[in-house]
Structures are given as C-alpha cells and as structure tokens.
Structure 1
C-alpha cells in the first residue's frame, strides 16, 4: 500500500492520498415523500458552513486526465454538499481516480437542506438517471428505501465493509432484506459541551450524574447566565433533546407510555419550570441561536451535535473556555448519533462504475478526504479515527472516540414520517413545557399522534 502525503503550510490542510486496495419507478407522489423527510439532521447547519451560494451550473469535473496510461477512464456523477471546495473536490477525486480511474463529475446539492430533499426526491421519483450517486441522510434513506429508489450494492461492496461502522447502524439504515444499499460517509454525535471557565470560577465540578447535574445547573444559573442552554424549537431540535433525555433515562422517545420516557419528559419540564436553570426562550431557539448563546458565555452546559464545535472554534472559545465533557450518567450515559451515506440511484446507467466507487469509499483515506472538504465532522468509518494522519482532518475525533469507548454513542430511531412527528408530537410537548397543558394531556395526546404516524 502506498500513501501519498502532501503538507500545505500556513494553516492549509494535510492532504492524504492512498492507493486503495479494493476495486472500486414510476413517478410517485413526490410532494408527500418530501414532506416526510424535511427535517434537521445530524446537527450540522449547511446554511452557515462552507460556500454561501450556488451557481446556476453546479456540476464540476474533477481529476480528469489523471488516469493511468492505457487504462479506461470512467466517469461518474455524484451529487453532494455545496460546500465541498474546488480544491478539496480535486484532492478527494484524485484519491478515487488513482485507484479506480473514475473521473468524478461533482454536482452540488442545494445549500438549504429542505431544497436538497425536494430536488433529490423529485429527480429520483421521476426516474431521472443524470445522477449516479447521492449523498443523503438517515431520513432520506428510510424514505427512499420505502419508495424503491435505490439499487443494492452487495454484489461489489462486501457486507463486511459495515464492520467499521457503529454497531447496529448498518442494520437500521443501510441493510434491507439482506441487501446492502449504501456506505457510511460521516458521523456526528450529540456531545456534552461545558463552559469550563464558568465551572472553575464558581468552584463547581463538571457533573457526572443526575444529582450533580441539577446541583451544577442551579449553582451556575446567576447574573444573567443559565446553567443549561438547549434548543427546543419544535421544527428541529426539540426532538433531538427529547431523544437524548429519553436515552439518558433509559426510555424511548417514540414510546410515551414508557415510564422512563415519561420521567425524561417530566425532567425537561422541571428544568425550565421548577429548577429554572433553562430559559423558556429555548422554545424559539434554533441550532444557530443556541450555539451563539453558548459561545457568548450565556450558559454553562449545552448538549448539541458536534458541529457546534465549529461555531465555538470560530468564536475563539473552543478548547479554552468551552470543552467536551463525558456524558453524565443518569440511568444511562447514552446519546444519539447521526450519519450521512452514499447511495446508488436505481435508474443509473453506470451501476458497475458506481459500485466500484462505493467500494472505494469504504476505505478510510477516501472517505476522510471527502469529510475534510465538507463538514469537517468525523467519518462513519471509525477505523479512520485512530489513524494519526487522518484524524487531524476531522472534527472532534478524540471526543467521539472517548464517547464510543464509554458506550455513549447510540444509533437513533427515526420515523419515516419524522417531519409530521415534529409538527404534531413536538408541538404537544412544547405546550406541556410551556405549562399550557397537563402532563397527562401531553402523554395522551402525544402518544396518539405517534401511533397515527406509525400506522
């Protein structure tokens, strides 16, 4: 195996290239499918990272002409994030080309998540074959598998390639009826961010359990600062927080009859209404607003997707004031993880080439180069986390590894109709948190709404 290394000075990225060892229908009711999957996923806001605009022609050819002499030069069209810079496109595509002789035609997806969902779903539902490979998230793959939009790939990409993914992830999102439908791209978890400076100045220890958590939150709620910041907007992150709290209490956020889930819901209410360590303004705070509040020193503790670290790094607070602490153990220390993946369009006319590409993307170097140029989160391929050359290219690798070693990172459950779940059940939960309905009304109404979505 040959690894090609190029170091770019003065703050530019370390770029790795490795000659890889492996070779690389009818129109549905698209509007209904789009509405089922338009939700915030993975905690990374694509509207604020990387490129800030799209051009009318979003297709770029990269690595053309670099194939080995005398070998076939194959072309493949991949739709991925709009914030993969041209330089990073080239580095990633060259890595693929060196092994497979595939030239990547890269087409940017719309910058806004909902627009990406709409465009991809419409194209797939219409039988469009202009895109061979799509880069999608968990909600999208659940919907697309249900609709029959994707091509199985296990005839070229071995099932064993899922061994480097988190346990249970492939079974939940990539495999159906013993067929493999995708390869993991990136992974991010909800981490426990704390303002270490605030803790030190107050002489308070970072909490490790429920009792310590309450005590710390109360001690640090003072002088216009809150012990805890959360994003409780129902259109996005309230579901993430309910999911995480339910996990921590040993419950299931999609089963409100579960006593442990009910305990988690009551605890969320208590944070705002009884302990008063969290502002009720949280119900209007989305991801960006909550991130900024934490960055501005308005809160001591914050559970959020790892992408928030980029906000703190940009604000000059990460590593000095704001750090990631181990997940405190309530009933459990579990926290949700989210991932995106590459999948093959069933209508593609280049299936053999596409499968070769997907096989290459199971290798650590190739997928890490892609992530280095996009969201700078960790790879779904956990083997890359321990590679001393690749790990620096990613975001919060040591933090994710510590969570993985502690048994915290947990594959989350999602409904195909997750958007409706947020509109209905999360609206009901919000009313309870605001003291507009009783706990009993919340549980009864919320579970009824969930049951209707499951049927």
Structure 2
C-alpha cells in the first residue's frame, strides 16, 4: 500500500503552531554518574521479547530505562494514569496509552506536543494519516507516538467451518448456515464482546460495514446495523453470555471452540499461538464476509510525554529512537507484535506471523479510527448501556435510536474541546 501523503496533517500542525507500583528493571539498577535515565509506564512490561528491546534501546542510546508495569484491567489502568497526570506526578516520564486515553488526555494540558521534536513531517509520513489527525492530534499539535498497531481482523475457527461444509464465510448467509449446523451443540456461529464498555467497538464496526454513520442515528444505514446486531442475539447466532464478556473472556471462549468466528484485533494472535490453536486448519485470520463497505477499525498503543517529566531530554531521545524505522522493526521482531509504522509492515523482509493477512487488510480495506471523544470512557459506557437495553428488549427501537443520538449529542457534539 502506498504511503498516504502527510502534508495535510503536518500543515495543520504548523498552522496552529493501569500502572503498578513495583518497577521491573530492564537492566542493572546501578546508574553511572552523569548517565541519563527515564521511567516509562509501559503496557508491554513482562511480555515476551520486551526486555530485550529495552536492553537494546539502553545500549543504543546510553540511557538507563526504568520500566513500570500497567495493570491488565482497562478501568484500573485508565484510573491510575489519569490520577498520575492530574496530580502533577513527575515520577514517570513516558506513558503508553491507547486510543481512549489519548482522546481524553490530549485536550487537558497534561502532555507535551511532539510535532517539532519527534513527529516531524518526515517521521509522521510513515503512519496512517487520518488516524494521526483523528486520534493523536488536537489543536494542530501531535501529542503521541504510535508504536503498536492493531487492526480489527476477522478470525475463524476452521474446524467448525469444515464441520459445516464451509471453506470460508464469504457472506452473511454463510453465518446462518454455520449457526444451523451448530444448533443444540452449545456452540455459536459468532462471538463478540458486548459488555457495556466494549460493545462500542462492534457497534462502530457494524455501522461502518453497513455504510452508516456512528454519530447519526437518524441514518437508515446506522439503524440497519444495530437492527442486524439485535437479530444476531434474537436468532441465537450469538450467545447472551457475550453481554458480560470483555475481550479476554471472549478470546478464552474462542480458544475453547465455542464460536465459529469473531472480529478481534490482530494483537490477539500471540494469545492463540500460546494456546496452541493458531493455524490454517485451526484458528486464523480470514477475509471479511461481504458487507456494503470494505472497512475496519484500527487502534494503536502510543507513547506520550508527561509535561511534568524531569527527564525530558532523555524522553525525547527515546521517542526519536522508537519512532524510527530500525527500532520499529526491531520492536516487531522481538515482541512479535505489529509495529505502527507502515513502511516496516510493508517491508517484504519484515517477517511476522500473520503479516501477510495484515498486509492484505491494509491493501483491501479502509482503516478507520474508532469514534472517540474527550470523554470517551463515559461515552462508550453510555452507548453500551443503551445498546444492551435495546437488544434485551428493555427499550424499543425508537427509544434506543433516540437514546443513542442523545449520547452522541452529549459527548461528541458538545463544545468540549
């Protein structure tokens, strides 16, 4: 896929010119006199290959890097980072955040802009441009450096498809065939995470599939997407258990063979590998069933620079390093996770399990940032609550559509920036 031109995003920038207490050290605790150091609150702490990546960065930069681990629970992680930033804590220099967190924090003055020091025109041109504009930017400034990319992929359990006599799921009617074959088996054609703080991932995905607009619930296509999702529950294509499932629970059930397919981010690949269920005849990524639009969600993990950092020089040096081609490639190879730089992904010499399917998604589908706002945590839970009441029959269609639009008007369309 050809790189998208950065000029528009960069011109805009010029024009406007959860965390644990214990530290996990990447190397020795002894810091030689006059050696720079910094502390990073990192979501990857403890994962395979990450210590090796940090050790290499220390060697290349001559910086002592302290790593603090974030809690796995998303709510706890969000609360801890918010407390750290709002309190003016200077004990952490760099923080890894997801789309939800950067969408909130970039508006509140906690972070230092990076377009002049790290995300320059040359560097930023190697990332998805619309994504940078919608997620990483505010008021013409770039506040984060993406380092890990996740694409919402289509995962299938090939064993269940084979049992149903299906090579692949090419259209929605194939899902119905699969469900009929799985009736009375305790298995389902489709699995999803419909817990109130996670369901917006799927709502926005299906709205895009059907050609709708997540911010306009008067749009017939938007309504059609929600109606289809409700029918999935009404007809038994999806289990009511999914209403309390977050991604971890969904992935575990998928590993156990409970579902024929699901949409889930590409980063889950290592989970399937570790469980021994990844492979072309087992669980694998596949082309999407045919929808009105060829589109899917994208998310990243990103570095941000705490404005209260006492080690800004070392932090900027590290950010310049990790945003570069070589370090991005090294990160992917060591951690076995997909880096965010497009030129690394597209490099035929860059080898990673699942990379060919990821490249196919990049080629065939439009990648869109999820609809987030300055109060994303509240917004997604509000929409999730409305949706659950709708699919459980506690609200009529008209009541849900009105409630969903009220949510959009309250969180997305007010002057909160």
The aligned counterpart of 1:156 is 117
The aligned counterpart of 2:8 is none
The aligned counterpart of 1:286 is 246
2-side partners of 1:448 and 1:87: how far apart? Answer: 45
The aligned counterpart of 1:348 is 309
Contact 1:271/1:278 (8 A) holds in 2: yes
Asked whether 1:193 is paired with 2:155, we answer yes
Aligned-residue offset at 1:267: 0.5
CA shift digits 1:246-283 (9 cap, x unpaired): 1111112233222211010010111121x432222221
2-side partners of 1:85 and 1:281: how far apart? Answer: 29
Change (3 A) 1:64 1:281: closer
2-side partners of 1:218 and 1:254: how far apart? Answer: 35
The aligned counterpart of 1:144 is 105
1-side partners of 2:141 and 2:411: how far apart? Answer: 26
TM-score (ref. length: structure 2):
0.85
Aligned-residue offset at 1:156: 2.3
2-side partners of 1:246 and 1:406: how far apart? Answer: 18
**What runs of 5+ residues in structure 2 fail to find an aligned partner?**
1-17
The aligned counterpart of 1:401 is 359
The aligned counterpart of 1:430 is 388
SS in 1 for 2:162: helix
Instruction: Kindly report which structure 2 residues correspond to 1:79-158, keeping only aligned pairs within 5 A, or say none.
Output: 79-81=41-43, 83-84=45-46, 88-89=50-51, 91-157=52-118, 158=120
Asked whether 1:318 is paired with 2:278, we answer yes
The aligned counterpart of 1:62 is 27
Asked whether 1:73 is paired with 2:38, we answer no
Aligned-residue offset at 1:66: 11
Instruction: Kindly report which structure 2 residues correspond to 1:304-453, keeping only aligned pairs within 5 A, or say none.
Output: 304-319=264-279, 320-370=281-331, 376-387=336-347, 390-392=350-352, 396-453=354-411
Aligned-residue offset at 1:87: 6.9
The aligned counterpart of 1:18 is none
Aligned-residue offset at 1:135: 1.1
Change (3 A) 1:221 1:418: farther
Change (3 A) 1:228 1:61: closer
1-side partners of 2:406 and 2:38: how far apart? Answer: 46
**What runs of 5+ residues in structure 1 fail to find an aligned partner?**
1-37, 39-45, 47-53
SS in 2 for 1:379: coil
2-side partners of 1:99 and 1:363: how far apart? Answer: 13
2-side partners of 1:154 and 1:84: how far apart? Answer: 30
2-side partners of 1:244 and 1:149: how far apart? Answer: 30
Aligned-residue offset at 1:171: 1.0
Aligned-residue offset at 1:211: 4.1
2-side partners of 1:293 and 1:204: how far apart? Answer: 21
CA shift digits 1:114-135 (9 cap, x unpaired): 3332222222212222221111
Contact 1:63/1:104 (8 A) holds in 2: no
1-side partners of 2:177 and 2:26: how far apart? Answer: 56
Contact 2:157/2:261 (8 A) holds in 1: yes
SS in 1 for 2:40: strand
CA shift digits 1:151-193 (9 cap, x unpaired): 1122222132122222311111223333222211111122111
2-side partners of 1:362 and 1:416: how far apart? Answer: 25
2-side partners of 1:402 and 1:83: how far apart? Answer: 30
Change (3 A) 1:60 1:314: closer
SS in 2 for 1:152: coil
2-side partners of 1:85 and 1:302: how far apart? Answer: 25
Change (3 A) 1:165 1:126: same
Asked whether 1:203 is paired with 2:165, we answer yes
CA shift digits 1:208-260 (9 cap, x unpaired): 23444444444554533211122211132x11111111111111223322221
Change (3 A) 1:322 1:438: same
How many aligned positions are there? 394
Change (3 A) 1:180 1:159: farther
The aligned counterpart of 2:200 is 239
SS in 1 for 2:106: helix
Contact 2:98/2:302 (8 A) holds in 1: yes
SS in 1 for 2:129: coil
